[in-house]
Amino acid sequence: MEEVEQICTRIAIMDKGRKIAEGTKDELKRMIRNTETVTIEIIGLTDEVLSEFAALPHVYDTKYEDGKLSVYCSGGKHNLIRIMDVLRNRDLSFGRVYSELPTLNDVFLEITGKELRDKED
């Protein structure tokens, strides 16, 4: 999918021989809910702090496992700033923070509900 994203100007997503989405890579990415995922390495978050992240504008889901907090955003331009403000206001120590935009693989997965290599039984 990385090669497709780099060389193609228009992309069609097919499922079971049927075209289910078509457009430029940016148009396809706008079709899905996830527009940004912010991941933070942080230990010892309480349910109260997790709720504060979940209540931020444009946040539709959060996951906290093995010392990593993932905050899933839909829309918005200042998601990372709002998340960092919670960390600063709570005076929380954390490690690496990174923001990821959706890939075409994310688009395929959300639109079809399947991994690229899933087999039907």
Instruction: Provide the CATH number for the domain around residue 41.
Output: 3.30.70.980
Query: Is position 104 within any domain?
Result: yes
* Whole-number average pLDDT of the chain: 90
pLDDT(118) > 80: no
In a domain, 118, yes or no: no
Name the domain count of the chain.
1
pLDDT in tens, 36-77: 999 999 999 999 999 999 999 999 999 999 999 999 999 888
93 assigned to some structural domain = yes
DSSP string for 37-96: EEEEE-S---HHHHHHHHTSTTEEEEEEETTEEEEEE-S-S-HHHHHHHHHHHTT-----
Whose CA is closest to 42, among 90, 1, 108? 90
Range of the domain at 54: 2-112
Q: What is the DSSP secondary structure assignment for residue 118, as one 8-state letter? A: -
3-state secondary structure of 102: coil
Residue 121 resides in a domain: no
In a domain, 26, yes or no: yes
> Distance (Å, rounded) from C-alpha 105 to C-alpha 116?
8
18 has a pLDDT exceeding 60? yes
Q: Is residue 117 part of a domain?
A: no
